[in-house]
Structure 1
Amino acid sequence: MKVKTIFFSIIFIIIITGTYFLLNKFLLYPSEEKAMKELSYAQQYLSQGDIDKALNKKNIKINYLGFSGIASKFPFTKAGNISKFYAGICYYKLGDYKESIKMMTSFSAKDEILSSMKYGIIGDAFSQIKNKKEALKNYIIAANIRENEITTPLYYYKIALLNFYMKRYKDSKYFLKKIEKKYPFFLYKKNIEKYLMFIENKL
Structure 2
Amino acid sequence: MAEVTNKANSSHDTSKPVNKEFDPQEAMDRASFFYKKNQNVILGGLAAVVIVVGGYFAYKNFVSKPNEAKAQAMIFHAQEYFARDSFKLALNGDGNNYGFLQVIDKYGSTQAGNLARYDAGVSYMRLGDYQKAIDMLNGFSASDDVLQPMALGVTGDAYMELNKIDEAVTAYKKAGHASDNNLTSAMYLFRAGLALEKAGKNQEAIDVYKEIRSKYPNTLEGRDMDKYLARLGEVKE
- CA distance in structure 1 between the aligned counterparts of 2:221 and 2:80, rounded to whole angstroms: 32
Q: Of the two, which has the highest radius of gyration?
A: 2
After TM superposition, list the pairs within 5 Å mapping 1:101-116 onto structure 2: 101-116=134-149
The reply on whether 1:5 has 2:41 as its aligned counterpart is yes
Shift of 1:72: 1.3
Say which is worse superposed, 16-25 or 113-122, in terms of deviation.
16-25
The reply on whether 1:24 has 2:60 as its aligned counterpart is yes
Structure 2: gaps of 5 or more residues: 1-36
After TM superposition, list the pairs within 5 Å mapping 1:147-162 onto structure 2: 147-162=180-195
1:145 to 157, 164, 178: 178
After TM superposition, list the pairs within 5 Å mapping 1:68-83 onto structure 2: 68-83=101-116
Instruction: Report the equivalent of 2:205.
Output: 172
Q: 1:88-136, CA deviations, whole angstroms, 9 ceiling, x for partnerless residues? A: 1111111111111111111121223222222222222122112122111
Q: How many residue pairs end up in the alignment?
A: 198
- CA distance in structure 1 between the aligned counterparts of 2:148 and 2:43, rounded to whole angstroms: 43
- CA distance in structure 2 between the aligned counterparts of 1:186 and 1:180, rounded to whole angstroms: 9
Q: Match of 1:185, SS?
A: coil
Counterpart of 1:112, as a letter, is D
Structure 1 residue ranges, 4+ long, deviating more than 4 angstroms after superposition: none
Counterpart of 2:112, as a letter, is A
Q: 1:130-181, CA deviations, whole angstroms, 9 ceiling, x for partnerless residues? A: 2122111121211112221121111110111001111111111221222223
Q: 1:30-70, CA deviations, whole angstroms, 9 ceiling, x for partnerless residues? A: 221111011111111112221121112xx531x32111111
Structure 1: gaps of 5 or more residues: none
> CA 1:189 to 1:147, structure 2 compared with 1: closer, same or farther past 3 Å?
closer
- CA distance in structure 1 between the aligned counterparts of 2:200 and 2:223, rounded to whole angstroms: 20
Counterpart of 1:129, as a letter, is L
Q: What TM-score results when the alignment is normalised by the length of structure 2?
A: 0.76
The reply on whether 1:99 has 2:109 as its aligned counterpart is no
> CA 1:114 to 1:2, structure 2 compared with 1: closer, same or farther past 3 Å?
farther
After TM superposition, list the pairs within 5 Å mapping 1:99-138 onto structure 2: 99-138=132-171
- CA distance in structure 1 between the aligned counterparts of 2:72 and 2:39, rounded to whole angstroms: 47
Shift of 1:73: 1.2
CA RMSD in angstroms, aligned pairs only: 2.0
- CA distance in structure 2 between the aligned counterparts of 1:178 and 1:110, rounded to whole angstroms: 24
- CA distance in structure 2 between the aligned counterparts of 1:141 and 1:165, rounded to whole angstroms: 19
Instruction: Report the equivalent of 1:50.
Output: 86
Shift of 1:193: 4.2
Counterpart of 1:24, as a letter, is K
Task: Using CA pairs under 8 Å that are at least 6 residues apart, name the structure with larger relative contact order, 1 or 2.
Answer: 1
- CA distance in structure 2 between the aligned counterparts of 1:190 and 1:145, rounded to whole angstroms: 22
Shift of 1:189: 5.1
